[in-house]
Amino acid sequence: MKTIDARGFSCPEPLLMLKNGLKSDEDILLMTDSKNATQNCEDFAKKKGFSVDVTQTEGDYHLQIRKAK
């Protein structure tokens, strides 16, 4: 699983980091501290056909992004 740490970045940077990460065949763990970036990245990944699980831990959001089966 590829990890992308987008904490401290505001949109559109986390989304651009995710777009680049999705070019690989690996599942992705995206970490962000922005609710807005979390929603934007979740929506984008789902529109591209990926499954997304979001968890929140102490102000950080973790998005596990996998290719839909």
User: pLDDT of 28-53, one tens digit each?
Assistant: 999 999 999 999 999 999 999 999 99
Cβ proximity of 33 and 8 under 8 Å = yes
26: containing domain: 2-67
C-alpha 48/C-alpha 55 separation (Å) is 20
Q: How confident is the model at residue 60 (pLDDT cuts 50, 70, 90)?
A: very high
Which amino acid type is present at position 6?
A: A
Helix, strand or coil, per DSSP, at residue 29: strand
| CA nearest to 39, candidates 63, 16, 3 | 63
pLDDT for the residue numbered 24: 86
- CATH number of residue 28's parent domain: 3.30.110.40
Number of domains in the chain: 1
pTM, entire model? 0.92
Listed in sequence order, the DSSP H helices in 1-64 are 13-21, 35-47
